[in-house]
Amino acid sequence: MLTLVIFFVIQNFVAQPYQVQQNSMERTLEPGQYVLVDKLTPRFDRYKRGDISVFTPPQTWESDSTPFIKRVIGLPGDRVEVRDDGVYINGTALEEPYTYKNSAGVNEPTTASSDQASWVIPAGQLFVMGDHRQKSADSRVFGPIAETSVIGRAFVRYWPISTVGILPTPAYPGLGAPAP
């Protein structure tokens, strides 16, 4: 009985396994890989640009209830623009070495997936994008997501064994705090 209680507490409040099911994070995370999702520290620390988040898809999105996994790009108060095959935060180009590169080692274009190419992120919301921009249904399509829909941060890949490792959160030099 104690084992069940411990499992329940850990699974619901501390960490949870998650199997990657979409192609949107390709090369960073491949379909079929497993990550551990930290559910505890987001209760004490805000999400940061570059965090890999697992979240419930917006209700307006037509899909099953399978959680999505994407990278946090924009924070509350940020102005996010998708233009010139790049992403700009508050006018500064984002350096994104983690994005998908084709077999020739070239980044595929980052284009807006809708008519909208600029967003100001409201309080309590995040702008998320997949690392494989051409295969990602993300905030470019369904808009910013509520922070309350985020299940947690993926922080370690643990399966298959050959891919075990910490998922680093990139630094974005030259990018200050979100706009007021």
10 CB neighbour count, 10 Å cutoff: 13
Place of tokens 């470019």: 140
Residue pair 139/132 in contact (Cβ under 8 Å)? The answer is no
Active site residue 48: no
Active site residue 136: no
- Report CA-CA distances (Å) from 45 to 39, 60, 70, 91: 11, 28, 18, 26
Residues 6+ apart with CB under 8 A from 178: 74, 75, 76, 77, 78, 90, 121
Residue pair 121/80 in contact (Cβ under 8 Å)? The answer is yes
Spot the catalytic one: 39, 53, 65, 70: 70
Dihedral sign for Cα 158, 6, 48, 32, please: positive
- Indicate the helix (H) or strand (E) that contains 150: strand 150-159
What residues are annotated to the active site? Answer: 24, 70
